[in-house]
Structure 1
Amino acid sequence: MSGQHSPNRPFAIARPVVLVGLMGVGKTTIGRRLAKRLDVPFVDADHEIETAAGMTISEIFERFGEAHFRDGERRVIARLIDGAPRVIATGGGAFMNADTRALILEQATAIWLDSDIDTLAERVGRRSDRPLLAGRDARTVLRDLAAVRNPVYALAPVHVMSHPAPHEETVDAIMNKLPA
């Protein structure tokens, strides 16, 4: 059956897998587990941006603004999508940039990790380093972001729901939807 992979049998990917979706959906956590399952490297684009800039994402936003951050994010993701099989977790806004999105759709397998607002709000509440949430109500911000971003995330050819369940269930769902 095309697209269906046994979780116990080796499965090779031919190009990068890029996880997109709202903050809190689990791109990094799920991405690490997916990379381990696929036996490929995992890269977190936000971590790579911080390393390249020598400062945190919050500091980049504070000092230079979101537009500057998005430009750097686009350049880092372009460097990461070099054709080598790997799993890449992106920041929630990365796929919103038309150039970044075109690169991902053309040279990688994009997977939209999706979740309901309540689950996302509970997850993002565990961390205080989200610049778009600074001093704001998480549910309101997430609802507003979902209204704008979900139609764009829907351009990703693979859509997987991330439920408040063991992460391995989401990894299994991704494995079952990866192109053969």
Structure 2
Amino acid sequence: MKVYTKTGDKGLTGLLTGERIEKDSLRVEAYGTIDEISSALGLARVWSKNTEVKEIIYNSQKVLMMLMAEVASVAGDTHYITQEHSAQFEQYIDQLDAKLPPLNAFIIPGGNAGAAALDLARTVTRRAERQVLRLSRQEEVSEHVLITLNRLSDLCFILSRTELVEIKVENKVKEKGDFIG
């Protein structure tokens, strides 16, 4: 089987549910950006030093596959994303946050490769959330998709902080308004 089909040469693409739509539609932009999140998380997983972080990233990438499938489907009776997905992200957040020191400074993205990739994933997730929100104003989108994206951006932030704990920060932050990174 060839990788190229030539069916998209005129600017159309197929949805999971079979419909053909324009490649620059809000729906395609949204699920394409969700795909970008998974790629950024893939980089983070490769660069992460923390085994627990790697496992959570991998599990999150599996959820992203279902998120893409849902956004790449015209509204129907089948929903791939449920309240359980955002609840799982909340559980991860709470579990990791309980182990972290209180946050008393702004964090500048970087610190190490894993944390930087997680910061990238967080910002791409925020963009995807905005795109899905725009899509939801024109077409039906499950609220669970938006909620899950919102929790994922929070999870990426906590995962990045967890990665930063793995490195020694030479300049300890002592005053409000200082920066870590």
Same fold by TM (over 0.5)? Answer: no
Q: TM-score if structure 1 supplies the norm length?
A: 0.29
| Structure with greater Cα Rg | 2
Higher RCO (CA-CA < 8 Å; seq separation 6+) = 1
Q: TM-score if structure 2 supplies the norm length?
A: 0.29
